[in-house]
Amino acid sequence: MTMVMEGKYIYCIIETNGKEERFGHLGIGGRGDELHTICFNNIAAVISNAPIKKYSVARENLIPHEQAVEVVMKSYTVLPVRFATIAENEEKVKRILEKEHRRFVDLLNYLEGKKELGLKAVFKEDVVYKEILANYDEIRMGKERIAKGQGREFALVAIGRQVEAALEQEKKKNVEYILGSLTPLAVEFRLNNTYGERMIVNAAFLVEETKEASFDQKVNEMVSKHSDKINFKYVGTVPPFNFVNIEINTGDY
């Protein structure tokens, strides 16, 4: 039987006064390991005991990792550490904190007083295609020709391509509108991959807390103006995974 070694699974980095903190029995792996800090000077790693092994990128692992960071974020500015980062022991964790102290402090200072806010926007299927028919004459006339039985098979292929191009054009216009409205209120933004043909934007914004109310108001204005044709999903105050995801190669320390 192979013996599995125990290590220290690192979730995030925080600023601290040197006193050990505990955050509950939320450790990855389903064993109920407690989240706690390992400190060096004025920073700390939030860790739990965990087997040293390969953790698959699956919901049962990703969700505990993210939830742990979210719990810590309720009390601290956090630097998320990349999923499945495991040090062999407490001494290794302290060496990492010592060697990367300046970088971690600078990043914590940068993120202090800022929040990540997320916005997804998706065209409503029953509305967007009606609008395309109403606004794109060539597509509308092509549909009318098909209805009359004129060159049906060729016309269907051609119209399918035209609708696809029109949808991309509509998405582009709305991306410019959404980003143009929101990026002036953000320190940074990230565009993530969209999925499905009707998704317009999948974006994350790093926003100063002093501007969060203005950002909320701008999102609410967009929703009130365009909810007839676009579904908006607005997510507030999540860990800044899109802007900081510390990569630590534990073998280098």
Q: Which residue has the tokens 């860790």?
A: 47
Where is average pLDDT lowest: 93-97, 111-115, 125-129, 238-242? Answer: 125-129
Which of the four pLDDT bands, split at 50, 70 and 90, describes residue 102? very high
pLDDT for 67 beyond 90: yes
The class level of CATH for 115-238 reads alpha beta
pLDDT for 250 beyond 70: yes
d(CA 20, CA 17): 9
Nearest alpha-carbon partner for 200 in 162, 236, 218, 226: 226
Average the pLDDT over 82-108 and give the result: 96
d(CA 103, CA 109): 10
Which of the four pLDDT bands, split at 50, 70 and 90, describes residue 236? confident
The pTM (predicted TM-score) of the whole model is: 0.84
CB 234 within 8 A of CB 211: no
Q: Mean of the per-residue pLDDT values for the chain?
A: 88
Sketch the domain layout of the chain as residue ranges.
Answer: 6-112, 115-238
Query: How does 147-158 read in b/e, with b if 16+ C-beta sit within 10 Å?
Result: eeeeeeeeeeee
pLDDT for 147 beyond 90: no
pLDDT of residue 1: 46
Where is average pLDDT lowest: 8-22, 103-117, 128-142? Answer: 128-142
Average the pLDDT over 39-59 and give the result: 94
Query: What is the secondary structure of 194-225 as a DSSP string?
Result: P-STTEEEEEEEEEEGGGHHHHHHHHHHHHHH
